[in-house]
Structure 1
Amino acid sequence: MTARTTVLITGASTGIGATYADRFARRGHDLVLVARDKTRLDILAAHLRDATGVKVDVLPADLTQAGDLAAVEARLREDAAIETLINNAGATLSGPFVNQATDDVARLVALNTTALVRLASAIAPRLAQAGKGAIVNLGSVVGLAPEFGMSVYGATKAFALFLSQGLSLELTPKGVYVQAVLPAGTRTEIWERAGIDVNTLSELMDVNALVDAALVGFDRRELVTIPPLQDAANWEALDSARRGLLADLQQATVAERYRVAN
């Protein structure tokens, strides 16, 4: 009998993370659920145990706090049953950059980038040695579009995409799958936490539809999954154009337009 593998999910108490927990539990995976709100985690864990019979551990942690983050890193390094990391925890900020407090910006970056890369770093060597497993990083379409006006949040999500693409190049040959998931606006509590009235937003995707689409991409082993993108050829064209630049970027000669005549 094959042992059940475990999925560790951050930001698991609600929204996208809780929905991932439900879906993986129904697929027969044991879970480690990470979030700040222990009460919500306990309620979700009890529900999933009753509904699916899987083992669900609760690991309360604020990933912006060094001690809490270290505890999650240790679990990822030491628990050989964990074969999938869903790097979902994240936050956003309302308003323009010049109105955002520096400390708030720093916390956002700590959660959306530092925690994400540290957790990936904690599990990746073990997965690579085992020759199996998966890392899923939740980005955002905002990371592709500065025009959306969420400069810091978008920058952190661009980081998540770049990291995923780089790790995929390194880890795929070792048997480890890395997926970047780029949602558009999704109906979750992230907006309320940022002080944004969700009722003022249009075209928000249902969280169940978002996660189910992301899992279709996961099962197909897509490197980048963009659930709201209707025409996949548009992403393929963008990525192809980017790769087409590579030879031009590796030049020792300054481009003609930057040469100053004497």
Structure 2
Amino acid sequence: MADLVYTGRFDLNPARNTREKLLLPLGDIKPLQQAGVYLAVMNQAGRYDYSNPATLFTLSDIGVSAHRYHNRLDIFTQSLENGAAQQGIEVSLLNEKGQTLTQATSDAQGYVQLENDKNAALLLARKDGQTTLLDLKLPALDLAEFNIAGAPGYSKQFFMFGPRDLYRPGETVILNGLLRDADGKALPDQPIKLDVIKPDGQVLRSVVSQPENGLYHFTWPLDSNAATGMWHIRANTGDNQYRMWDFHVEDFMPERMALNLTGEKTPANAER
């Protein structure tokens, strides 16, 4: 059962017929200085209703950020007071019934990796009486206004590159690739499936590429009547997560350089 620790009155004075978001000053309330989980119930003075608005909040020094990927959750715990990583934080995923789905403890860097369970509704972080809650059903932090665009992260990184990305019909497309892990270190050689995709989305050819000394090399001669537009080469490293390399096929005239070579009027001799 919960214990009553504080009762107070706040003069909110909102404008009539409007909804406002107000922050209540709790920092100077001594009974609310102890870390823990609190339930706040509010009611209008002089009224006794059958139901009252209530909310749950925690006082904790455990800061949590969760990064959701295809099949895992990367969780970082740190102190809200000084920003230092927190070791030994017990991190749990709970479903909507409050049942624990998975659990792990943060390392010296404050890092925890958990399997991304679709039934997870709440992330719970606890240590020494401190508790932090993270609702996984709420919308994630909107980063649309920040310039964070970049290549998607995979456990296997397949870097594709070529001498150019603009070709004419009839030319040969050249593509090279390197297979690396998430830290950029070389992975053991393995076959990789490559699909050549036309501008209309149809797969023109599928091949399995084998590396030589860690380098994947693929060439594809374009037909003389190949469709112009944006083509794609799709790579699958076996995890069914596609990596794309794009190139253009256009009718264009390559830049040319004219050279005029002229020699001396007097032929050179051996003495010179």
TM-score tier by shorter-chain length is: under 0.3
Pair member with larger Rg? 2
- Bigger RCO (CA 8 Å, 6+ sep): 1
Compute the TM-score of the two structures, normalised by the length of structure 1: 0.22
Compute the TM-score of the two structures, normalised by the length of structure 2: 0.21
From the two aligned structures, give the one with the greater strand fraction.
Answer: 2
